[in-house]
Amino acid sequence: MTPTTTMRAWRTTRPGPLADRPLQMRRELLPRPTSKDLLVRVLACGVCRTDLHVVEGDLPPHRLNVIPGHEIVGEVVSVGEDAGGRFEVGQRVGIAWLRGTCGHCRYCVRGDENLCPYSTYTGWDADGGYAEYTTVPADYALELPSGYPVVELAPLLCAGIIGYRSLVRADLPDGGRLGIYGFGGSAHLTAQVALARGARVHVMTRGAEARELAFSLGAASVQGASDPPPEPLDSAILFAPAGDLVLPALEALDAGGTLALAGIHLSDIPSLNYERHLFRERQIRSVTANTRQDAKEFLGIAQQHRLRVSAHRYPLDSADRALVDLAGGVFSGAAVLVP
């Protein structure tokens, strides 16, 4: 298939509040892949809270005028001569947040490539999926599970993967009690993985629609964002970017419990009281990006267990509105742009 020579794309021209229209739609030439890249026609791109942080400037700009978006489902248009033999023209492919690592530092060598100081990210260091075409290094492209429409595949590629890593970091025991704070695109997928492993899941969230979704997926209880769950928790994950929720989450943990902080950005955490929040070997763990192994494991789970994906379709032309709706909590689950 020979693509057109131009495409539509949203660029972050001046990071700042959404009211100031930091995103601008442009028509421009297709990206030029390197010999190690795939050129991909975007079929769907999820709208992640990290995109919001990039567009509004909560995350410092890594590339001027970057195209956001890192939950990309696409079709391979061309394969670079040095891109290996994993993918072929016409194949569906996934593009996630992690775009490149050095492969040689001590973090990469020990299997923690998500901590590589030279790591790069889709939609932050390089142009992402709020466009009709994009590129990806073939080594960082992902094979996709079958049986999902593209609109449901897109949220798996960040919301699902980072939620899975957060669950691993939360150290949930078999059959354990998990608390989830905030119930959006990532949380509703993570809850299903935990439930499939026999966990009792308690959800703390503010939105009525999100509470209904949590109950429909099998949550044992659902209450307000900072309310205590009905039983002590073995593990908890904070998905909401609200540092003040760290305190009630820690108080809800049983002795030896672990709280994982899933977001790339978090508002300031209030002062902790050692006795109330940390004593009895309760602990906090942050989550930093993901490894390709995380992606492989989670997408394997998605192949084995048909996950219910709450996806809300937006046309590519409405990317700015999708971000406004995300920030305002208009929908439960995930938003997905479809060119």
- Tens digit of each residue's pLDDT (9 = 90 or more) over 169-192: 999 999 999 999 999 889 999 999
Q: How confident is the prediction for the chain on average, in pLDDT?
A: 96
Q: Which two structure tokens, joined as six digits, stand for 188?
A: 């509703």
For position 89, what pLDDT does the model report? 97
CA 293 to CA 186: how far, in whole Å?
Answer: 18
Query: Distance between CA atoms of 53 and 94, rounded to whole angstroms?
Result: 22
Q: What is the pLDDT of residue 282?
A: 98
Average pLDDT over residues 256-277: 94
Of the pLDDT bands very low, low, confident and very high (cuts 50, 70, 90), residue 313 is very high
pLDDT of 200: 98
- The one-letter code for the residue type at 326 is L
Closest by Cα among 31, 42, 293, 10 to 154: 42
- Mean pLDDT of the 160-175 span: 96
**pLDDT for residue 27 is more than 90:** yes
Domains 6-144+309-338 and 161-286 share a fold: no
For residue 264, name the pLDDT band (cuts at 50, 70, 90): confident
What is the per-residue pLDDT for 84? 86
Residue ranges of the alpha helices (H) in 84-207? 106-109, 150-155, 161-169, 185-196
Contact between 256 and 282 under an 8 Å Cβ cutoff? The reply is yes
**Phi, psi torsion values for 10, nearest 5 degrees:** -95, 125
Q: Torsion over CA of 122, 128, 129 and 130, rounded to 10 degrees? A: 130
Tally the residues of the chain. 339
What is the DSSP secondary structure assignment for residue 57, as one 8-state letter?
T
Q: Per residue in 209-226, is it b (16+ CB within 10 Å) or e — as a string?
A: ebbebbeebebbbbbebb
Helices and strands in the chain, H and E counts:
9, 16
Mean pLDDT of 291-310: 96
- Give per-residue pLDDT as tens, 197-208: 999 999 999 988
Q: For domain 6-144+309-338, say whether CATH 3.90.180.10 is its number.
A: yes
Each domain of the chain, given as residue ranges in start order, spans 6-144+309-338, 161-286
Tell me which CATH code domain 161-286 carries. 3.40.50.720
CA dist 43 and 247 (Å) reads: 41
Q: How far apart are CA 123 and CA 48, in angstroms?
A: 11
The CA-atom distances, in angstroms, between 98 and each of 72, 230, 293, 294 are 12, 37, 11, 11
Alpha helices, H only, the chain: 49-56, 106-109, 150-155, 161-169, 185-196, 208-217, 246-252, 292-304, 319-327
Q: Which residue has the tokens 């305002």?
A: 328
Among candidates 153, 165, 145, which has minimal Cα distance to 262?
165
Are 317 and 166 spatial neighbours (Cβ–Cβ below 8 Å)?
Answer: no
Helix (H, G, I), strand (E, B) or coil at 236: strand
Q: Which pTM was predicted?
A: 0.92
Q: What mean pLDDT comes out for the span 164-170?
A: 98
Enumerate residues 6+ apart whose C-beta is below 8 A from 299: 94, 142, 143, 144, 145, 156, 160, 161
What number is the average pLDDT over the span 85-107? Answer: 97
